[in-house]
Structure 1
Amino acid sequence: MTGRNTLKARINSGETVTAAWLEIGSPDVAELLVHCGWDVVVIDCEHGTFGLEEGLNMIRAVEAAGGQAVVRVPDSDDATLKRALDRGARSIMVPMVQSADEARRIADACLYPARGRRGYAAPIVRASGYGAVADYARNIAHDETLLMVQIEHPDAITHVSEIAQIEGVDMVFIGPNDLAAAMGFLEDMDRPEVHDALATIEKQVRDGGLKLGTVLGAGRDYKALKLGGYSLIVGPCDIAMLAEAARTARRACDETIG
């Protein structure tokens, strides 16, 4: 928990990392995903069935099973970010970032003074091992935090180059579903206009020296996204996998019974 962020290290080494979404508020499901080979789990406090505090407790289950946790917070409020960091979230994804000013505010909220304005409680928080890690505030809190900002609206596209220059932001994570919807193409990510927008964002991120992340889809599989330079690809979610398995089992049952 308090040592090196191995996910950040893997990404910075050039590895393409794949992950699964955790949407069901169950530590058993979190463990199951890791034991089934999904060693990186994105705990979704935006769309999942759990609140922030319950989601942050899922970090324990993921890490205890040997995995690495990413927490998608529900909003970019300073208090939300501070709580997530204090509770031990080392890799954080922030949804719906619309401008460079917002990205800068988010990054500042994740950094201690003088680099930012994160509130100080380092000796008593889980992130520091409740004070066991003496240099948490001076070094680890900055060096081992992986901050991802989500670009999910066309209005944000013109700000990506500036976002890429902000201290503390490590990755631009593109949300193609919401991007397509905001462009007027709900559930139609394969439109040429959407792919043009994706290409524009990708180029700006690469030119700015940041890492790229996204979800599986928009007509692109894992191989295509890896070749496209993506460092983090989040694929299936627990609810979808359970639903598909349930449907498959039901069909098999019905076909057997006749």
Structure 2
Amino acid sequence: MNPIKQRILTGETVTAAWSEMGSPDNAEAMVMNGWPVIVIDGEHGIGGIEEAVHVARAVEAAGGEVVMRVPDGSETTLKRVLDRGIRSLIVPQVNTADYARSIAEFCTYPARGRRGYAAPIVRASRYGARPDYASNAHDELLLMVQIEHHQAVENLAAIAAVPGIDMLFVGPNDLAASIGKMERMLEPEPQALLKTIEDGAAKAGKPLGTIVGAGRDFADLARLGYRFIIGPNDVSLIVNGARQAAAERDRQLGAEGKPTAINRY
């Protein structure tokens, strides 16, 4: 069983961090320092599927688990990601039930869906060492679709009802942008859309995921019933650490901030 899926289905709130830089070392370091679930960002991050597999290997070797936000919901992309052994997926920009249905079908073998078969030779089956892989792959799959457009909110009940869709994942800034409110997530209209999603998911009995932001932290989102919450990313951790170190350097050196040999490295 996919442990992330199992934790979510039993009502636990799972937290995660983003891998944006395509770096196995960055991801491994995060796992070893408090972030055992890593979300590989294949939509906005660096690298393609093979780079994602390298990150996944590092995370798994360190004792963690990976989720991948795929770049798109095409049959080829989903098939290749699943064959390469990534079993928890977020698919962006899912605005209709028809699109959600096609995604679910691309991710599952017949008779549930229409995923292409190559089970004995792919990483997902441990290159054939798991002969039962194809018959159990649907149980291991955690499939999240991203609700990040007002059209998706209008179609929320129909999307949530699609067999095989396990979670609705909210993209708050893109959602706000879809109504002309990009980077203005705290305004009443985007907040009302978020509330509509939360109410609709509760009515449908479908768990929610999202990122920290839009005025809500981990505790706020957990109280609102979100079961998968993504926080920091490797870029921000490095940049924020660099800025803090630079500010401390300048404080120690005084207003002029002249570099010395002691801080060249």
Q: TM-score, normalised to structure 2's length?
A: 0.94
Aligned residue among 76, 79, 82 for 2:79: 82
Shift of 1:117: 0.2
Deviations, residues 140-192 of structure 1 (Å, cap 9, x unaligned):
x1001000000111011111101111111100000001111111111111011
In the alignment, does 2:25 pair up with 1:23? no
Q: Which residue of 1 aligns with 2:204?
A: 208
Q: Which residue of 2 aligns with 1:143?
A: 139
The 5-angstrom pairing of residues 50-89 of structure 1 reads: 50-89=47-86
8 Å CA contact 1:153–1:182 kept in 2: the answer is: yes
Q: Which amino acid in structure 2 is aligned with residue 71 of structure 1?
A: M
Q: Which amino acid in structure 1 is aligned with residue 29 of structure 2?
A: L
What is the CA–CA distance in structure 2 between the aligned matches of 1:26 and 1:40, rounded to whole Å? Answer: 15
In the alignment, does 2:205 pair up with 1:218? no
8 Å CA contact 1:56–1:71 kept in 2: the answer is: no
Q: Which residue of 2 aligns with 1:111?
A: 108
Aligned residue among 7, 29, 52 for 1:10: 7
SS of match in other structure, 1:20: strand
Query: How many residues of Structure 1 are paired with residues of Structure 2 in the alignment?
Result: 254
Q: Which amino acid in structure 2 is aligned with residue 215 of structure 1?
A: I
Aligned residue among 107, 125, 128 for 2:125: 128
What is the CA–CA distance in structure 2 between the aligned matches of 1:36 and 1:183, rounded to whole Å? Answer: 38
Shift of 1:52: 2.2
8 Å CA contact 1:52–1:74 kept in 2: the answer is: no
Deviations, residues 176-219 of structure 1 (Å, cap 9, x unaligned):
01111111111111011111101111111121121100000111
Unpaired segments of 5 or more residues in structure 1? none
- The root-mean-square deviation of aligned C-alpha atoms, in Å, is 0.8
Q: Which residue of 2 aligns with 1:195?
A: 191
SS of match in other structure, 2:251: helix
Shift of 1:57: 2.4
8 Å CA contact 1:213–1:231 kept in 2: the answer is: yes
The 5-angstrom pairing of residues 87-102 of structure 1 reads: 87-102=84-99
Q: Which amino acid in structure 2 is aligned with residue 194 of structure 1?
A: P
Q: Which amino acid in structure 1 is aligned with residue 65 of structure 2?
A: Q
Shift of 1:10: 0.7
What is the CA–CA distance in structure 2 between the aligned matches of 1:233 and 1:71, rounded to whole Å? Answer: 14
Q: Tell me which moved more, 200-209 or 30-39.
A: 200-209
What is the CA–CA distance in structure 1 between the aligned matches of 2:182 and 2:224, rounded to whole Å? Answer: 24
What is the CA–CA distance in structure 2 between the aligned matches of 1:54 and 1:100, rounded to whole Å? Answer: 31
What is the CA–CA distance in structure 2 between the aligned matches of 1:200 and 1:88, rounded to whole Å? Answer: 35
Among the aligned pairs, what percent are the same residue?
57
In the alignment, does 2:177 pair up with 1:181? yes
Moved beyond 6 Å, runs of 4+: none
Aligned residue among 239, 243, 265 for 1:247: 243
SS of match in other structure, 2:155: helix
In the alignment, does 2:47 pair up with 1:46? no
In our comparison, the structure showing a higher alpha carbon Rg is 2
SS of match in other structure, 1:81: helix
Shift of 1:56: 2.6
Q: Which amino acid in structure 2 is aligned with residue 89 of structure 1?
A: I
Unpaired segments of 5 or more residues in structure 2? 255-265
In the alignment, does 2:238 pair up with 1:238? no
